[in-house]
Chains A and B, each alone.
Chain A
Amino acid sequence: MAQDPTVPKLNFEYWLDKAIEWGQATTLESQKDVCLHLSQLQEFLHQLYEAIKHLQGPTVVIQQFPLIGQLLGRLCWNPFVIGYDESQKTLMWCLCCLYSSEPQNAVELKANSWVRSLLCHLLSSSKWESNEAETSAFISALGYTSADYYCHLVKNMVVSLVRELRENQFNGLNIQESISASRVNAVSIFCVPLITLPDLAPLLETLLLYHGGSSKEILSSEFLESVNEAFLKKKISLPESVVFSLWLRHLPSLEKATLHLLDQVLSIQLNSLEEVACVIKDSLLPQAASHPAIFRIINEIFKSALMETDGTSEVLTVIQVFTQLFLQDHQNENKQHKFPLKAYFPYHHQPLVRRLVRRPFELPTTYWSEHVKHISDMVKALVEDTNASSLTDLFEIWFLVACFGEWLDIAAEQLLKAAVEPDPVLWLLAFYYCPKNENQQRTQTVVEAQAVYSHLMMLFNCADLSLKDLEAAVHRVMGTEQCCNQQFTTHLLTNFLLFSPGGHKIAQECIYHITEITDTSKEVHNLLIRTAHRFNHSGEENQRTVKLLNELLQKLTLKV
């Protein structure tokens, strides 16, 4: 039910009908329906309160909303509504608006009495509930209030439910189950409004870790969705094992969590890879991905996101950082039952996987170029194998390589910093930027790249460079139609500016020039962030390079 925010008219009749339909929410269908509408109802109540709070006196309120008494009265008897989030507060405020300090007529007198009865019903002992009177007299005689009583009552009920669920867990092998699946399902529905109530935390955790005998999911989907929502919005915090259990048993929650992460990272301007890593780590997704099923599903979602955004560099960065964090977590685990790599990358060439998974800092830097060459050779072999080059296979190989973008960045760096055989490296980078080759695009890219590279290497040791010297390269960036070439060339050019002695002086000017004219400022920014992150961790010796990098980042951050 969409509420149009620009139109102040409230859909009063709709909610009154709903309230009548729900009654006191005693049937399963009404309970499920209430759960589905809880947040919209809260929003409506808030709007209602805003509409009536400035009205002078209850008579005016009743003139505007003649049926308000019916609506509020019925909602007060629905424990799902009262138990939810902040609905009880808003409802009580609305009730107070119907109370007048100087009742002028019979209607207002009656309204006063009715408001007080309802508030007593909500807060202490209700004249409509016969069994509350005795308890409330006893509590008063002890010098306590209903606040103390209900605090204890809820805690006790939670404790006994938790105990019942846990005992049943250990009796899992008994044929005679002490709790039926429908009972657990019912408990999960009744908990939906109460998810953000701190007293319920032990029960939530026990439910999420509960596995009955059947293979079907016994917790209600409304419950699982609501817990996930509350967790993603940081309204509740749950232990890791509980979150993993939730995602393992409810696929939509995992999907939502992954999409939520992507939204988060893409919507805020993040200025360092550390920030990105922080956000991703907080989401608990890399940790959850130690379950191969979760890992594979997250990757599928990432693949779709890449397709939809046409491979934008921000999504790629998220994927790369996620993979790094996942690997860190996986390698640090001391569990005896660590899954082998094959479980996470089942359909890929395992030797390639093993190579990609090696973190750069695990190898001495002198060995890096050889490592990159091996990777390039393997990928080339896989890609050019005519038996296995359907478009999907190609995409899968490309995606695998893209996940481990660190090696690609190192490869590009090695081109300029070390004495390497350029062809395999150029081929690998060309494959990354231009994987398809139906019309020989990739082959063309390699050729172009070789030309740019030769040109840059010629200028590498020149002390005194001017923008004009780089013109040829810059023109390739701007003039080319193929965007993959543009990105590739920009990458080479940026690295050149960072790592060549003569490039420092013209770096700012050159990058400014490029990003002004083309649409590559985001990619350049991204590249610089990744490079900064690597410098922080591996330690770049050349202080001038580091300084230049930071300056460029600052300038670019302001612009982007």
Chain B
Amino acid sequence: MDAVLRQVEQLPALLAVSRSAQVRDWDCLTLDRALEWARYFQHLHHRFRARPQLREALGRRLRRSQPLPLLGFPALGRCPQLLGLALLENRALPPAACRCLLRGLLPPPGEGSGCDPRGLALLARRKAAARLLALVPGPEGQLQAEARLLLGRLREEGQEAAEAAGQLPWLRAALEQLPQPRACGVVAAALALLPQGCGTEQAGDTDRAAGSSQGGYQAGAAGDGCAAGLLLSWLLGDQERFSAFCLCLPSSQLAFLAGHYSQLSRSYLDLLTSWGSRLVYDPLQGRWVKSCLDKAELSWEELRERFICLCQGPALLREQTQAALELLRTRDGDFKVRGLSVWTDLLMEVGY
């Protein structure tokens, strides 16, 4: 067992090398050895996935051997594809080795076992299918797919690692790969998926054996809470990020999320409050305007729309919003006439 643990530590290094220029020196033999290792890791995954204690041990050792815990136990199962595709994309791989790689990834008929051992033909087909189905204009399938993978990963983490502390930097690093509006969209989609109870599905686990999915379901509910917690800490941890999030998402989606996550609704209301307080009343135009033309704030119309959406949410959210607005109105002097306090006007707009 000790030997196995030491071997497993090598996985991150193997993947790192396969993406680096070090492959320049690889020949066919080295490549075959690397692919052998990948198959071996996959074999370990199959052997141990139904045995929780050994799973945990392997997962822990794997995590400790990386600066950022990118890979967990399930990554062992995906190893051949991870390695194969990484090598395919690595331009430094010399032609001879690359040819061996191609024969390994796409064995021609007659050679090798089965027609599509690495599932690459299926991958190419699915990629084409995604392009075909995208020809019909429709809702953003991409965001949903990315969100599901994110959730899957978070859940895997939730099962493997007890320490949530180590996860935030990893999450941050991953989300940094996307431009901010997109990252916000993905996180929003992920948060929206969680209450809909997609906890039974383990995203990304390429072999959905009965053992793993059953184990996954138990931890599903707990894992979901954990995942939500992590996403919210990422979101609320940075004020600038949070306000960018609230600016780029549509008000209905924000209201939906606020209805399900109380931390979110509080922070959101606080943010709306700070934006609202910066509006000034222009008596000449007879309406509320921004005090400075800073894009990173809401206009009166947008603010109103946000509050209306919030008041169309579940009862708790509605009450919370109403209470907040009333408190603010009272603080401002409890006026019942327009043009004196933005909160009075808002309360009138939302119908209270």
Residue of A119, A141, A145, A146 near B177 (CB, 8 A) is: A141
1/0 per residue, CB under 8 A from B, across A93-127: the answer is 10010011111000000001000100110111100
| A88 and B153 form a contact (CB under 8 A) | no
Q: Which residues of B contact A124 (CB under 8 A)?
A: 85, 88-89
Q: Which of B126-134, B227-235, B287-295, B338-346 contacts A (4 or more CB under 8 A)?
A: B126-134
| A146 and B115 form a contact (CB under 8 A) | no
Shortest Cβ distance from residue B48 to the other chain A in the assembled complex, whole angstroms: 18
Shortest Cβ distance from residue A136 to the other chain B in the assembled complex, whole angstroms: 9
1/0 per residue, CB under 8 A from A, across B149-172: the answer is 110110000000000000000000
| B121 and A135 form a contact (CB under 8 A) | no
Q: Which range holds the interface residue count of chain B? A: 35 or more
| A149 and B103 form a contact (CB under 8 A) | no
Judge if B119 is at the interface, Cβ distance under 8 Å: yes
| A160 and B88 form a contact (CB under 8 A) | no
Residue of B128, B174, B203 near A152 (CB, 8 A) is: B203
Knowing A53-B108, A101-B95, A190-B136 touch, does A123 contact B129 (C-beta < 8 A)?
no
Residue of A141, A147, A156 near B123 (CB, 8 A) is: A147
Q: Which residues of A contact B329 (CB under 8 A)?
A: none
| A116 and B98 form a contact (CB under 8 A) | yes
Judge if A402 is at the interface, Cβ distance under 8 Å: no
| A123 and B95 form a contact (CB under 8 A) | no
Q: Which residues of B contact A103 (CB under 8 A)?
A: 95
| A156 and B89 form a contact (CB under 8 A) | no
| B142 and A186 form a contact (CB under 8 A) | no
Chain A stretch 29-69: residues in CB contact (< 8 A) with chain B: 53
Whole-angstrom distance between the alpha carbons of A199 and B78 in the complex? 20
Judge if A83 is at the interface, Cβ distance under 8 Å: yes
Shortest Cβ distance from residue A133 to the other chain B in the assembled complex, whole angstroms: 10
- Chain A residue total in the interface (Cβ 8 A): 61
Whole-angstrom distance between the alpha carbons of A123 and B89 in the complex? 10
Residue of B119, B133, B144 near A190 (CB, 8 A) is: B133
Judge if A200 is at the interface, Cβ distance under 8 Å: yes
Q: Which residues of B contact A80 (CB under 8 A)?
A: 128, 132
| A143 and B72 form a contact (CB under 8 A) | yes
Residue of B129, B144, B145 near A83 (CB, 8 A) is: B129
Q: Which residues of chain A have a CB within 8 Å of any CB of chain B?
A: 53, 79-83, 86, 88-89, 92-93, 96, 99-103, 112, 116, 119-120, 122-125, 134-135, 137-154, 156-158, 160-161, 164, 183, 186-187, 190-191, 193-194, 197, 199-200
26 contacts between A and B (CB under 8 A): A79-B129, A83-B125, A86-B121, A89-B121, A99-B95, A116-B88, A119-B88, A122-B124, A123-B124, A134-B182, A138-B146, A138-B177, A139-B146, A143-B71, A143-B82, A144-B78, A145-B82, A147-B85, A147-B119, A152-B145, A153-B141, A153-B145, A154-B129, A186-B135, A190-B135, A193-B128
Q: Which residues of chain B have a CB within 8 Å of any CB of chain A?
A: 70-72, 75, 78, 81-82, 85, 88-89, 91, 95-96, 98-100, 102-103, 106, 108, 115-116, 119-136, 138-139, 141-142, 144-146, 148-150, 152-153, 173-175, 177-179, 182, 186, 203-204, 206
Report, nearest first, the 7 A-B pairs whose CB atoms are least far apart: A83-B128, A82-B128, A141-B174, A101-B99, A153-B145, A137-B177, A150-B126
